Amino acid sequence: MKTVPKHVLVAGGGVAGMEAAGALAEMGYRVTLVEKGDDPGGHLLQWHALFPDRRPADEVRSYLRKRAGHHNINIITRTTVEKVRHHPGGVRVILSGGTEEEADAVIVATGFDLFDAHRKEEYGYGIYDNVITSVDLEAMFNRGRLEKADGTVPSRIGLIHCVGSRDEKVNNNHCSKVCCVTAVKQAIEIRQMLPSCEVFCFYMDMRMYGPYYEELYRESQEVHNVNFIRGKVSEASVNINNRLVIKVEDTLAGRPLKMELDIMVLMVGMEMAESGAKLAEASGFRQGINSFLESGDHHYGNNLSGIKGVFYAGTCTAPMNITDTISHARAAVAETVRYLKA
């Protein structure tokens, strides 16, 4: 008699969700991948190149699309997981619209939201035309054109680190881990596209986690002449010449600084996804002091939810880069398979 494959539902179709779904499908499990957007891919869909080697993001997207294209995977888009509840027969899942699914196990991979830069009113995002976010800058790289709002070429660009991270005023005390290295990568890309453009990074501390990150930081200075100023920007305005003017305290020089910029780029950090927070509240998942999902144990149970049959993968638990997200998803798969075989 043929055995019916066990069913795993994956909540979230970003990097972690696609990797987890693909790995489970290859092992013969029946997988339902639930994605809130029009297509799986998450925030990776917006990216042009990846740190530390400036690899084209489309290479990783292609890898993940192939993983999620396995015949054992059923993809449901424009849908969110609203609630999960363990019962003796497995896990009952309620989807948006009231549809119910039964699964033998669930992997929560709801990911993160990018910080809304409008919340930092002192930077003028949405008020001044040439204040953009790191995501907006990636879109310019994708188009192959880096220009001001009026179509002219910028001669000086400033990148502001830690926007929405390490900031008590917006209730985000955590470090998003990827903002510093993203700023360095983008600064190099700006210099490569516009060799005559001056580029300044304004940082609190340079937190270059990961292999080759420090080397990338040195390359940005020694090869590409990117300037780094340690200090937090306090405000931005526009002068009579329609140039941005920022005020910053240079903490290394010990003096205030005022500088004109053509474009100011806000390096927005990661927050717990709104959809993940709603799922946590409805399902009884614990959230940590940084609002991300609290795993069963920080050392040897990082994928465990504390609810039988439910596991966590990726940035729903903490900010991560793509490499760590994929590794975390694979660990979630291992925990899920061990549970299903028990």
pLDDT band at 254 (very low <50, low <70, confident <90, very high): confident
| Whether residue 265 sits in one domain with residue 122 | yes
Residue 130's domain spans which residues? 117-270
In this prediction, residue 88 carries a pLDDT of 86
**What pTM was computed for the model?**
0.94
Residue-averaged pLDDT of the chain: 94
Among 184, 190, 164, smallest CA distance to 268 is for 164
Dist CA 109 CA 119 (whole Å): 26
* Mean pLDDT, range 215-239, rounded to an integer: 94
Instruction: Give the confidence band of 262 by pLDDT, cuts at 50, 70, 90.
Output: very high
Is 66 in the same domain as 153?
A: no
Residue 1 lies inside a defined structural domain of this protein: no
Instruction: Please check whether residue 211 lies inside any domain of the structure.
Output: yes
For 313-330, the pLDDT digits (tens) are 999 999 999 999 999 999
Q: How confident is the model at residue 2 (pLDDT cuts 50, 70, 90)?
A: low
- Predicted local distance difference test score (pLDDT) of residue 296: 87
Q: Are residues 79 and 41 in the same domain?
A: yes
Residue 258 lies in a domain: yes
Chain mean position to CA 17 = 13
pLDDT single digits (tens) 124-174: 999 999 999 999 999 999 999 999 999 999 999 999 999 999 998 999 999
The SS3 assignment for 62 reads helix
The domain that holds 202 is classified in CATH as 3.50.50.60
Residue 253 pLDDT class (50, 70, 90 cuts): confident
- What integer is the mean pLDDT of 192-218? 94
| CA trace torsion 171, 173, 177, 182 (10° rounding) | 50
Q: Are 126 and 166 contained in the same domain?
A: yes
Residue 185, both tokens:
């990568």
Question: What is the DSSP annotation of 159-198?
Answer: EEEEETSSBGGGTB-S--SSHHHHHHHHHHHHHHH-TT-E
Residue 206 lies in a domain: yes
Is residue 173 domain-shared with residue 158, that is, in the same domain?
yes
223 is a domain residue: yes
The burial class, CB within 10 Å (0-12 / 13-18 / 19+), for 170 is: middle
202 and 287 together in one domain: no
Q: Indicate if the pLDDT at residue 31 is higher than 90.
A: yes
Using CA atoms of 306, 312, 318, 322 in order, give the dihedral in degrees to the nearest 10. 160
For residue 155, give both structure tokens. 């001669």
* Structure confidence by residue, pLDDT tens digits, 83-118: 999 988 899 999 998 899 999 999 999 999 999 999
Burial environment of residue 266 by CB neighbours within 10 A (0 to 12, 13 to 18, 19 or more): buried
The burial class, CB within 10 Å (0-12 / 13-18 / 19+), for 205 is exposed
Whether the per-residue pLDDT at 35 is higher than 80: the answer is yes
- Do 225 and 178 sit in the same domain of this protein? yes
Number of domain units in the chain:
2
pLDDT band at 252 (very low <50, low <70, confident <90, very high): confident
Could you tell me the strand order of the sheet in which 255-261 lies? 233-238, 244-250, 255-261
Q: Are 238 and 170 within one domain? A: yes
Would you say residue 1 has pLDDT above 70?
Answer: no
Residue 2 lies in a domain: no
* Best CA proximity match to 35, nearest among 55, 49, 47, 20: 20
- Decide which of 270, 285, 309 is a domain's last residue: 270
Instruction: Decide if pLDDT at 342 tops 90.
Output: no
